A and B are shown apart, each in its own frame.
Chain A
Amino acid sequence: GAGVSQSPSNKVTEKGKDVELRCDPISGHTALYWYRQSLGQGLEFLIYFQGNSAPDKSGLPSDRFSAERTGGSVSTLTIQRTQQEDSAVYLCASSLPPGAGGQPQHFGDGTRLSIL
C-alpha cells in the first residue's frame, strides 16, 4: 500500500516568501504529525492532529507557522514570511490513534526547505 507522501521533496525560496508543504498520510490513519529536523539533529515536534480533536500546536515555533488538516486526511504546513533559520527538513508522519498502547509512526521522506 502507499506510504506517507510529502510534496515538494525540495523547496528553495527567498527570505520573506510564504511556503506551503503538503502531506498525504496513509489511508485510515487518524493521527498526523509534523516535525522539523535541522542538519544532524533530532526531530523537533511541531503540531499533532488526531481525528476531529483540536490540534496540539504546542510545538509551533512562532505565529508564522500554521497547519491545517482538511477532511481528516491531507495536511498542509504553511510558513509565512520565511526566515533563514526556517531552513530544515520538514517531516510528516501518520499513525493509527496512539492510545495507551502506543502506535508506530510512519514517515514520509520529508521536504527539504532552503531559504536564501
Chain B
Amino acid sequence: SQQGEEDPQALSIQEGENATMNCSYKTSINNLQWYRQNSGRGLVHLILIRSNEREKHSGRLRVTLDTSKKSSSLLITASRAADTASYFCATDGPSGNTPLVFGKGTRLSVIA
C-alpha cells in the first residue's frame, strides 16, 4: 500500500525560483528519505531525516519533517534546469528494519 503521497504531482517553475514539494504519510516512521530520479535512470538518494529531527539542510536542499502532521517538505532553492527530475519521498516503519515505501513522486520541470 502507498505510504508516502507527494504533492503536487507535477510542478513547473522558472530557473532561479524555489521549488517546494510535499509528502504525507500514514503510519509511524523511523525515518523519511527523499530521492531524485532523472528520466531513464535509477533513483539517487538526496537526504534522510530521522523522526526526531525537524529540519535538515544539504546544499540547496532543505527538508522539514512534522511527525504530528505526518508530513515532510522538500525545498530546492535557486533552481536550475538540471534539477528537472522526479522527486520521491520514502518512509520506513517504526522499527527501521523494513523496506522503504515510496510515493508516486513529483515531476519537477525547471525552465531555463
The residue in chain B whose Cβ has the minimal distance to the Cβ of A44 is B102
Q: Could you tell me the dominant secondary structure of chain A's interface residues?
A: loop
B96 near A42 (CB under 8 angstroms)? no
Interface residues on B, range: 20 to 34
CB distance from A4 to the nearest CB of B (A): 7
Known contacts: A99-B96, A100-B97. The answer to whether A43 contacts B88 by CB under 8 A is yes
CB distance from A24 to the nearest CB of B (A): 13
Bound together, the chains give a CA A41 to CA B31 distance in angstroms of 22
Residues of chain B with a CB closer than 8 A to A109's CB = 40-42
Report the count of interface residues on A (CB-CB < 8 A). 26
Add 8 more A-B contacts to A4-B42, A43-B43, A107-B43 (CB < 8 A): A42-B2, A42-B88, A42-B104, A59-B99, A93-B42, A105-B100, A107-B44, A109-B42
7 contacts between A and B (CB under 8 A): A35-B102, A42-B102, A91-B42, A98-B98, A101-B31, A108-B42, A109-B42
